[in-house]
Amino acid sequence: MSDLPNPDFSGLDGGEEQAAQDAVQEVVNWYNAQIIRERRAPVPDEERLEELTAGRQAALADQAQLATADSQEAERIAAVYAARLKDLKGS
């Protein structure tokens, strides 16, 4: 068994980054579900669809920013999106 390479995971602390990624993805998922629900409504509310789509696009843009975010920025994004998801689910 000593012939197997020993992978180096020292650069993978990533806890904040993963938490932020997960939080943003949960918000994106919420928007996706709401968009689908609104589109399936007998009479879709176009204004609400626009708002939902804009919210999803903003979340996706923030998600893309995580690729270059440092751990402090990732922690801030995680907190913002955790609070946003709580608000969205409460509404």
Q: Check residue 40 and give its pLDDT.
A: 97
Cβ pair 87, 23 in contact under 8 A: no
- In this predicted model, what pLDDT tens digit does every residue of 69-90 receive, in sequence order? 998 999 999 999 999 999 998 8
Higher-scoring residue by pLDDT: 8, 91:
91
Burial of 81 (0-12, 13-18, 19+ CB in 10 A): buried
Q: Is the pLDDT of residue 10 over 50?
A: no
